[in-house]
A and B are shown apart, each in its own frame.
Chain A
Amino acid sequence: MIERAFRGSKVEAKAYYRKFEPVVDWEVVLVFGIVVGAFISAILSGSFRVEAVPDLWATRFGPDPLLRIAAAFVGGVLLGLGARWAGGCTSGHGISGTLQLAASSWLAVACFFIGGVATAMLLFGAGV
């Protein structure tokens, strides 16, 4: 959808968009809903705060917002790539898929946490 807006109708010819038609469907509005719902919850509980560098990150890597945002961006690229690659994320595979007892989802979620635990331990050391 985003790419279509950027590059016009040419991208629609590609194999990917033939399989996954780019439309604004319920899944797109669901994401906006998550932002709104979390905002309401954070305001009501007084936990809303504008923050670029989480405390845990700052204690290990310092308070530089550029470093944190750069790391978050690289992580985000891998996360977006991996979620499409595996056909789901911690919600789609991790909750909806595992609760249907889908074999693909149990394998994917095990790999999410193997990759995640290994990366976090490398970044922060095992004994935090």
Chain B
Amino acid sequence: MVDLAIEDLRSNHRAQLAIGLFIGIGFGFLLQKGGVTRYEVIVGQLLLADFTVFKVMASAVIVGMVGVHLLKSLGLASLHPKSGSLGSSALGGLIFGVGFGLLGYCPGTAAGAVGQGSIDALLGGVSGILLGAGIFAWRYPSLEERVLRRGEFGDKTIPKILGVNPWMVVIPTALILLGLLFWIEETGF
């Protein structure tokens, strides 16, 4: 029955838009509440002085990781890991990181910052992100050929690489992240 509902949703464009908007509003609300739409908070994290970004991300990952793997074990969801390569994930990640440090927002939090009145996120951030994505689309054929496929490793997950049951990775990862959260709270970051 659940499968049927999800299949219906895949062909229902209007419902997808409504759910996308609804989830976007919830996501934006919570990003702003969590404080991560502020320049100071993000740059504070990158300067390793304020661990709010880590706290928000780690708690989302713990809940989502256990939840998604639970759904998967119950046969109610399937994973959609992105495929990657050294040329794409590592090099693209480093370019992203330099932009992250300079702008002081990431794409989602830049949208959230616009909503809270941050003009730098609107005039500089959003227009820059659109241009950057446009440059990628423009250079895509040659990048695809020369860089993006270098060191390809596909859409493997860590449990698959290790050849173990996913829960053998989920549980230790959740415990380590929980431990780090408590440790950060104890030490006062």
Does B170 have its Cβ within 8 Å of any Cβ on chain A?
Answer: yes
B residues near A (Cβ < 8 Å) are: 13, 16-17, 19-33, 37-40, 43-44, 46-49, 57, 60-61, 64-65, 68, 79-86, 88-104, 106-121, 123-138, 140-141, 143-144, 148, 153, 155-159, 161, 166, 169-170, 173
Give the size of the chain A interface in residues (CB under 8 angstroms): 100
Q: With A26-B17, A95-B64, A104-B155 in contact, do A17 and B137 touch (Cβ < 8 Å)?
A: yes
B94 to chain A, nearest CB (A): 4
> With the chains together, A85 CA to B97 CA distance in Å?
12
The main secondary structure of chain A at its interface with chain B is: helix
A116 to chain B, nearest CB (A): 4
> With the chains together, A65 CA to B141 CA distance in Å?
37
Please report which residues of chain A, range 18-47, place their CB below 8 angstroms from some CB of chain B when the two chains form the complex: 19-20, 24-42, 45, 47
The main secondary structure of chain B at its interface with chain A is: helix
CB 8 Å contact bits of A108-125 with B (1 = contact, 0 = none): 111111111111111110
B84 interface neighbour in A31, A96, A108, Cβ under 8 Å: A108
- Decide: B64 and A117 in contact? CB cutoff 8 A: no
- Decide: A72 and B48 in contact? CB cutoff 8 A: no
B159 to chain A, nearest CB (A): 6
- Decide: A87 and B132 in contact? CB cutoff 8 A: no
Nearest residue in B to A33 (C-beta to C-beta)?
B24
